[in-house]
Amino acid sequence: MSDASWINDVQFDDSGLIPAIAQDAGTGVILMVAWMNAESLAETATTKRAVYWSRSRKRLWRKGEESGHQQIVHEIRLDCDGDVILLKVEQKGGIACHTGRESCFFRRLDGDSEAASWTITDPVLKDPELIYK
């Protein structure tokens, strides 16, 4: 854990976590949202590689550790309430999502109200079985 003063401005929730948005530093595309604890945020700031906290695996998740799809961190931003982190990153391999897509936000709501449905708009760039081999 870091005792750096900047981390005291970060408002972690009751579980000690904060959501972090990863945005492509070049294109502005929102790639994904994951969670960080203080340790993962401190390591991200030091190494300039995105490190999250995996809620399912309950351990640090160094993005790309299995897939090779690391995120090189250009900027770390904090919102006005101090309870959301924004990372501007260079996405290695051009794929952030575990489905093999650039972005996790690949579904768009189309149609009106009750009759609307989610349309998959983004292509799979690489078969996940080849990513996580």
Binding site for a second copy (CB under 8 A): 2-6, 9, 19, 21, 23, 27-30, 32-33, 42, 45-46, 75-81, 84, 86, 97-99, 101, 104-109, 112-118
In the complex with a second copy, which residue's Cβ is closer, 45 or 125? 45
How far apart are CB 55 and a second copy at their closest, in Å? 10
What burial class does residue 89 get, using C-beta atoms within 10 Å of its C-beta: 0-12 exposed, 13-18 middle, 19+ buried?
buried
DSSP one-letter code for 40: H
Closer Cβ to a second copy, 23 or 62, answer by number: 23
| Residue (68 or 120) nearer to a second copy, CB | 120
Rounded to whole angstroms, how far apart are CA atoms 39 and 44?
9
Question: 71 forms bridges with which residues in the sheet?
Answer: 91
The rounded Cα 31 to chain-centroid distance in angstroms is: 7
Point out which residues pair with 62 in neighbouring strands.
Answer: 51
The one-letter amino acid at 66: E
We find the least distance from the C-beta atom of residue 6 to a second copy, in angstroms, to be 5
Least distance (Å) between residue 7 CB and a second copy: 9
Nearest distance from C-beta of residue 29 to a second copy, angstroms: 7
